[in-house]
Amino acid sequence: MSKSATLPQAIATQFNRGPLAYAALTLYVLVTSALLLANTRTSLLTDIIFVLFLFGLLLIYRARVVGGYKLALAAALLLGVLPYFGTQNAFYVELAIQAAIFVTLALGLNVVVGFAGLLDLGYVAFFAVGAYLWGVLSTPQIAQIAPGASPVSPSMFYLFLAVGLLVGTIFGILLGFPVLRLRGDYLAIVTLGLGEVIRVLAVNLDRPVNITNGSQGIKDIARPPLPEVLRAILPGLGDAQIYQIFIYLMALLVLGVTVLVVYRLKNSRIGRAWEAIREDDVAAVAMGIPIVRMKLLAFAVGASFAGAMGVLFAAKQQFINPPTFDLLRSIGILAMVILGGMGSIPGAMLGGALVTLLDLQLLPRIAMELSALKRQGIGIPDWFDPAQYQRALFGLLLILMMIFRPAGVLPDERRREELREGEAETSAEVEPAAQSRAASTS
């Protein structure tokens, strides 16, 4: 923090603490909530308000007010306003569910990439394993593998969230064990290869035994039964609407648990060991850190979140097929982590929310506005569909972040120090060579 603050900074600090902060924060939350509830039609305006509304969460996080008040405001937004708004407009709740799922995935990948510094480009493989686990076992697909077996009851879903966690862990260890001895950039390519292998297997394992139903995917995946409590709380709503809110609450719950676990891990002995490995693995070994075991643990923890989220994802979508789990999805999750800031928990959450909104809301919205313009006779060619240019979006995001802000939007303190140190080293790289030469000639 510099002492000589500019005028905007001075204003910002004023609003960040003291009674003004409470007032401003409350006002912001109230206004955005009111605006949101007043505009329930799906449109560009509602999009903007929705983003501003979610931005309120970031403000709540950043503001210097009492923790309890923060929690109350955030709970009011996420558990009150958003579900109620969802009963009016299903699209935005769907968006929030997707955001919650991807934020959880980003948090999981953040453990691997951010905490332990292992670049995993095949993260979606574990997600796929979880999704296929529930997809195969909850549908008649199971009879293809074991003739006569019947699908598990939908109420087993909750148990399978835990099973997904476990299976993700096992896969993480199985895949991680051979590759974790590799150096960083090799690891990236190998995990990318493994991710592709899982996808290719998903496409091809319909022969000789039909496990995944090949490229057609698995449909009619079971959903957990709707709890009667929700019907009582939300009278006068259709089952589909209640169901969506139910899924939303569940995604939020999983997200909450994930945040808690990740946060505790980061500040534990294990988390510090990961950071030591990330910053200098040779020094970490010298300090007695079991490096392979710790890397494996990071891999397994990240994979377990993806496995559990895969189960939830399969139940939500009710249909999965191999293209859902392609490389682009892995890269998208990586972009979330990098945008927010590697190693930073709020960063991963912000990145996850931002990229999901960009990907699922902003790009399609621009596409729709463009096609509206086209109908009015303004020459927009047919082939131009911004929603189809996710790769360019992710690609630009990765390049620009790496060049201009490698520590991310909400950087992790220690990570930022590390990157700064790296810069200092390079600028000093030539000088010692020159000095040592001068020393030897004198």
Note the residues at the interface with another protein (CB under 8 A).
Answer: 117, 119, 121, 178-179, 181-186, 188-190, 192-194, 196-197, 200-201, 203-204, 207-208, 282, 327-328, 331, 334, 338, 381, 383-384, 389, 391-392, 394-403, 406, 418-419, 422-423, 425-426, 429-430, 433, 437, 440-441
Q: Could you tell me the smallest distance in angstroms from the CB atom of residue 178 to another protein?
A: 5
Cis peptide before 406 (omega within 30 of 0): no
Q: Could you tell me the smallest distance in angstroms from the CB atom of residue 415 to another protein?
A: 10
Output the six-digit token pair for 281. Answer: 């693995």
Give me the phi and psi of 218, to 5 degrees please: -110, 130
Nearer to another protein, 60 or 111 (CB): 111
Closest to 77 (Cα-Cα) out of 22, 40, 19, 31: 31
Q: Could you tell me the smallest distance in angstroms from the CB atom of residue 393 to another protein?
A: 8
Q: Could you tell me the smallest distance in angstroms from the CB atom of residue 216 to another protein?
A: 15
At how many degrees (to 10) do helices 291-317 and 157-179 cross? 140
Q: Could you tell me the smallest distance in angstroms from the CB atom of residue 250 to another protein?
A: 32
> Could you tell me how far CA 389 lies from the centroid of its own chain?
20
d(CA 311, CA 372): 38
Cα angle: 294, vertex 297, 299; to 5 degrees: 115
Nearer to another protein, 3 or 207 (CB): 207
Closest to 71 (Cα-Cα) out of 82, 81, 52, 57: 57
Q: Could you tell me the smallest distance in angstroms from the CB atom of residue 402 to another protein?
A: 4
Nearer to another protein, 260 or 400 (CB): 400
Total count of residues recorded for the chain: 442
**DSSP codes joined into one string, 338-356:** HHH-TT-HHHHHHHHHHHH
Q: Could you tell me the smallest distance in angstroms from the CB atom of residue 203 to another protein?
A: 7
Nearer to another protein, 161 or 334 (CB): 334
* Cα–Cα distance list, 97 to 227, 247, 255, 263, 316 (Å): 18, 7, 10, 22, 9
Positive or negative, the CA dihedral 390, 391, 392, 398 is positive
Nearer to another protein, 119 or 128 (CB): 119
Nearer to another protein, 190 or 348 (CB): 190
Nearer to another protein, 53 or 325 (CB): 325
Helix residue ranges, H only, 39-75: 44-62, 67-75
Q: Could you tell me the smallest distance in angstroms from the CB atom of residue 47 to another protein?
A: 23
d(CA 419, CA 268): 23
Nearer to another protein, 163 or 303 (CB): 303
